[in-house]
Structure 1
Amino acid sequence: MYRLDIAALILLLINILKKNKILPLSRKELLLGFLSGVFLALHFYFWIASLKYTSIASSVVLVSTNPFFVVLVSLFLMKEKITFKMVLALIVSFIGTIIITVNDGNLFSSKIDKVALFGDMLALIGAFSVSFYFIIGAQLRKSMDTNKYITVVYSSAAIFITIMVMFANVDAFHYSTRDFSFIFLLAIIPQLVGHSAFNWALKYLKATAIAITTLGEIIGSSILAYIFFAQTISLWQFVGIAFIISAIVISFKYGKV
């Protein structure tokens, strides 16, 4: 919530100081912008929650399956053609996802790890949510400039997730100054720099291509998780990651971008 709230407030302040015109918006732009924001909020709500229950590597790998949800949604809702090699990439990524979830949840043992399995499911819901965020963004960026788009979407996401937190009956004010410094960095670097770069590129590349670029998180986050949290990768996690990275390579080489 704070990540989105801070990012939205900074954007609004910049626009006020620069006297940028965000309004008026057409009914379609307003509706789709709000919807995109809702899916962005849901992405963070489920994905960040997953980190409490499963490992960083598994969470990031599973949330990074979003390019394949983008392909599936584009196929069924937007009637885009899909090549055999993209079908192969989907199958390979699905196998990798199954390997990771089976390993994390100990599904083939007598003691199923329901906690890790729950975290994996949350990460997958996060992946599904961000897919719609990219698809809607690709449509809106055809007519909206980057500043107007991210201001509308981040503000909508901030409002929606703030309401969710208000009804969640949690203490949102117990964080230390150190905690808030990290939250502020989340708003500045991953949100205002990272996500805004993706949204800028949506005007020039297909949503599938943008989604694929997010998959670099897999390697980087796994390395950082080992350095800072001593989280190692098991053999089967490594195999699952290898399948998903193979699918990424296939998508990037043969995908329609």
Structure 2
Amino acid sequence: MYRLDIAAFILLLMNFINKNKLFPLSRKELLLGFASGVFLALHFYFWIASLKYTSIASSVVLVSTNPFFVVVLSLILMKEKISPKVVIALIASFVGTVIITASDGNLLSEKIDKTSLFGDILAIIGAFSVSFYFIIGSKLRKNMDTNRYVTLVYTFAAIFITILAIFANEDIIHYSSRDFSFIFLLAIVPQLIGHTAFNWALKYLKATAVAITTLGEIIGSTVLAYIFFQQTIDLWQSIGILFIMSAIVISFRYGKV
């Protein structure tokens, strides 16, 4: 909630200071912007909740299945043609994801308990939600600049998730200054820089291609886990990373609108 609230506040403040015109917006743009914001909020709501019940690796890998949902939704909702080379990228990303998942603590051989299963389901719902976010974003970004789009969507997402948190009876006040410093960093780096970069790319790449690039999160989390938590990267993880990197390169090369 705070991640989105802070990001939205900063954007609104910057637009006010720079006297940028965010309006007028058509009714269709407002409705699609609201829908995109809701799905972004749901993505964070379910994905971050999943971290309480399942491992970081499982959560990140499962939430990164969003390209598969994006492809299906693009075919059904937008009748979008998928380049054969992007299909190859999807296959490569799927193989890489499976390899990393299997190698992460031998997940395939472990007995699945109900708690982990619940967390996995939450992560998958998070992936499904962000897929709609990308699909709607690709539609809006065709005629809307990045600043207007992210300000609109982040603001709607912030309002929606704040209402969710209040109705869920969450304690949203009693955090330490250290907690808030990390929350502030979440708003600045992953949200304002990371997600905004994805939204910028939606004007120039198909939603499918942009969704595939989010698989880089698996690589990033693996590398950072090694740096900060001394979690080593084994051979199979390295192979999986290479598959995913190949998928990202292919999606950028052949996934242009």
Tell me how far 1:62 sits from its aligned partner: 1.5
Q: TM-score, normalised by structure 2?
A: 0.85
On the 8 A contact 1:37/1:155 being kept in 2, the answer is yes
Question: Which secondary structure state, in structure 1, belongs to the residue aligned with residue 214 of structure 2?
Answer: helix
Paired residues for 1:13-24 under 5 Å: 13-24=13-24
Against the structure 1 CA distance between its residues 106 and 212, is the aligned structure 2 distance closer, same or farther, given a 3 Å change threshold?
A: closer
On the 8 A contact 1:106/1:112 being kept in 2, the answer is no
Amino acid at match of 1:189: V
Paired residues for 1:56-135 under 5 Å: 56-82=56-82, 111-135=111-135
* Residue in structure 2 matched with residue 160 of structure 1 by the alignment: 160
State the alpha-carbon separation in 2 of the partners of residues 249 and 62 from structure 1: 21
Question: Which secondary structure state, in structure 1, belongs to the residue aligned with residue 23 of structure 2?
Answer: coil
On the 8 A contact 1:55/1:231 being kept in 2, the answer is no
State the alpha-carbon separation in 2 of the partners of residues 111 and 145 from structure 1: 48
State the alpha-carbon separation in 2 of the partners of residues 228 and 124 from structure 1: 26
Tell me how far 1:253 sits from its aligned partner: 6.5
Q: Following superposition, which runs of at least 4 residues in structure 1 exceed 4 angstroms of deviation?
A: 83-111, 230-257
State the alpha-carbon separation in 1 of the partners of residues 54 and 238 from structure 2: 15
Amino acid at match of 1:5: D
State the alpha-carbon separation in 1 of the partners of residues 19 and 83 from structure 2: 46
Tell me how far 1:93 sits from its aligned partner: 5.6
Amino acid at match of 1:138: S
* Residue in structure 2 matched with residue 180 of structure 1 by the alignment: 180
* Residue in structure 2 matched with residue 192 of structure 1 by the alignment: 192
Stretch moving more, 200-209 or 135-144: 200-209
Against the structure 1 CA distance between its residues 19 and 250, is the aligned structure 2 distance closer, same or farther, given a 3 Å change threshold?
A: closer
Provide the aligned C-alpha RMSD in A: 2.9
State the alpha-carbon separation in 1 of the partners of residues 57 and 140 from structure 2: 32
Q: TM-score, normalised by structure 1?
A: 0.85
State the alpha-carbon separation in 1 of the partners of residues 201 and 120 from structure 2: 29
Tell me how far 1:177 sits from its aligned partner: 0.1
Amino acid at match of 2:79: K
* Residue in structure 2 matched with residue 34 of structure 1 by the alignment: 34
Gaps of 5+ in 1: none
Amino acid at match of 1:28: K
Report sequence identity in percent. Answer: 79
Gaps of 5+ in 2: none
Tell me how far 1:30 sits from its aligned partner: 0.3
Q: Which whole-Å deviations, capped at 9, do the CAs of 1:73-107 have from their partners, x for residues lacking one?
A: 10111112345665566567667767777888999
Q: How many residues align?
A: 257
On the 8 A contact 1:56/1:225 being kept in 2, the answer is no
